[in-house]
């Protein structure tokens, strides 16, 4: 089930409108697949773009960090932010340099974030952030205590104004280039997990949990 | 050989200063390993963060796109930008939720970009952008013609004000948590290339070039 969504002047794609995705469910699928987002905010006219983890619940994005974080303290002032998640799916090799491209899926969310003050919602948001990255890990970890929850700032960004952009499939060359004698196609890219590495201080008899050993759900964000 | 670099108030890391890297050579290694950057710019007080490819030559970053691109037309007005490249290296599973983290390497460059007007430098920048992503591909492709070069905007951003941040290694737990009975360690993440997919319109007798079939140099950016 996906709500209809009408882009604003700020989120409507002007170029390559065929790559635009204004479908909320499709955008959420991209958000749910990424690991990290890039958060944009402005200080004295200068934009900053900082990578960080995130989670989604319903029509809200959550980011978090130390209450001392320069980024979060800025965002906590109610300034406009932009949160972008990008999944890179492949290199697109056309015959002409000009038509080379990448296959990707990205979502851009504009808005203003609000600090989550309610301790219960805050803890739930932290659980979401954890489960987003590694489902199953939360329950097996030492839970946050009151001091840690207090030291953490969690910001909620409503997913109200957004756009998604998707490019998939083979290269599109100019008609006259299809005879050019070079290989053309797609090199697929995928983020994969390697063999888990034990913490050197771990009791080596501790088994590697299933969620760590068979991690293949995600692409990078 | 690496020049000493003194961060500005805007690029000095306030939190986790042990993760700061102010070494130019180390920052360039990160930039050279990534595929995509996230470009931040401001329109009417609203930050935008857009993913795009890039290349580096000496102390300059290059980004490019259609001369009709909203992002590039904005950047071409000489506004402050932020270009961030992030490489995700792993998930760090601590015993406590609070100490979970990610291993990553990121570079943030602040400044003002300038359009490359000289056709020779422009073509060389386009070559750099191509070689950055897939060395060897440029020479085997149909070269850009004058119309295509004109339709492309290339922006140069001097790497003058920047910071890099690196987190690597095992989790760091609080002393009292090391006895907590859960697995702890790192799940390494790596972007890998799959088997190249022929363009459906390619003559199937065309051999897959070596650079496409054995692509393993890069991590995602």
Residues A12, A111, B87, A26, Cα dihedral to 10°: -50
- The verdict on residue A3 lying in a domain is no
Kindly determine whether residue B51 and residue A86, on different chains, have CB atoms separated by under 8 Å.
Answer: yes
CA distances from B208 to A20, A22, A94, B205 (A): 31, 36, 13, 9
CA nearest B198 in A: which residue? A185
**pLDDT by residue (tens digit) across A102-127?**
999 999 999 999 999 999 999 999 99
List the beta bridge partners of residue B71.
none
How confident is the prediction for chain A on average, in pLDDT? Answer: 90
Find, among A192, A134, A48, the residue nearest to B89 by Cα.
Answer: A192
List the beta bridge partners of residue B64.
B154
C-alpha–C-alpha distance, residues A116 and A104, integer Å:
32
- The verdict on residue B12 lying in a domain is no
Residue A178 has pLDDT above 80, yes or no: yes
This prediction has a pTM of 0.93
Residues B64, B66, B68, B73, Cα dihedral to 10°: 0
Residue of A34, A36, A37, A47 to mutate for B, most B C-beta atoms under 10 A: A47
- The verdict on residue B160 lying in a domain is yes
Kindly determine whether residue A183 and residue B206, on different chains, have CB atoms separated by under 8 Å.
Answer: yes
User: Min CA distance, B1 vs chain A (Å)?
Assistant: 28
Q: How many structural domains comprise chain A?
A: 1
> Which of A16-25, A65-74, B75-84 bottoms out in mean pLDDT, i.e. has the lowest?
A16-25
CA nearest B200 in A: which residue? A170
B218 close to A208: Cβ distance less than 8 angstroms: no
Kindly determine whether residue B102 and residue A36, on different chains, have CB atoms separated by under 8 Å.
Answer: yes
Q: What is the CATH number of the domain that holds B164?
A: 2.30.110.10
- The verdict on residue A44 lying in a domain is yes
C-alpha–C-alpha distance, residues A42 and A80, integer Å:
8
* B136: number of Cβ within 10 Å: 12
**pLDDT by residue (tens digit) across A55-69?**
999 999 999 988 888
- The verdict on residue A47 lying in a domain is yes
CA nearest B150 in A: which residue? A98
- The verdict on residue B87 lying in a domain is yes
Scanning B117-176 for CB atoms below 8 A from A yields 126, 130, 133-134, 137-138, 140-144, 148, 152, 170-171
CA nearest B81 in A: which residue? A47
- The verdict on residue A81 lying in a domain is yes
**pLDDT by residue (tens digit) across B128-144?**
999 999 999 999 999 99
State percent of chain A over pLDDT 90. Answer: 76
User: Which residues in chain A touch residue B196, judged by CB atoms under 8 angstroms apart?
Assistant: 183, 185-188
Find, among A87, A82, A90, A81, the residue nearest to A29 by Cα.
Answer: A87
Is B186 an interface residue toward A (CB < 8 Å)?
yes
User: Which residues in chain B touch residue A35, judged by CB atoms under 8 angstroms apart?
Assistant: 88, 102, 189
* Domain ranges, residue B201: 17-213
State mean pLDDT over B52-67.
94
Return the CA Rg of chain A: 20
- The verdict on residue A4 lying in a domain is no
């Amino acid at each position: 089930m996906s709500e209809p969504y009408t882009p604003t002047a700020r989120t409507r794609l002007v170029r390559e409108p065929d790559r635009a995705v204004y479908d909320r469910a499709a955008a959420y699928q991209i958000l749910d697949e990424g690991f990290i987002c890039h958060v944009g905010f402005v200080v004295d006219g200068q934009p900053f773009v900082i990578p960080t983890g995130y989670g989604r619940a319903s029509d809200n994005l959550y980011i978090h960090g130390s209450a001392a974080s320069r980024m979060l303290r800025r965002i906590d002032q109610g300034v406009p932010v932009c949160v972008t998640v990008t999944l890179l799916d492949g290199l697109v090799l056309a015959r002409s340099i000009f038509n080379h491209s990448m296959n990707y899926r990205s979502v851009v969310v504009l808005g203003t974030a609000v600090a989550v003050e309610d301790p219960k919602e805050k803890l739930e948001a932290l659980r979401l952030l954890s489960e987003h990255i590694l489902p199953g890990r939360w329950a097996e970890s030492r839970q946050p205590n009151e001091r840690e929850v207090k030291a953490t700032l969690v910001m909620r960004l409503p997913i109200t104004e957004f756009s998604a952009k998707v490019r998939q499939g083979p290269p599109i060359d100019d008609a006259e280039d299809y005879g050019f004698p070079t290989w053309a196609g797609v090199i697929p890219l995928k983020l994969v997990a390697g063999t888990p590495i034990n913490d050197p201080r771990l009791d080596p008899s501790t088994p590697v949990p299933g969620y760590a050993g068979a991690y293949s759900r995600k692409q990078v964000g």
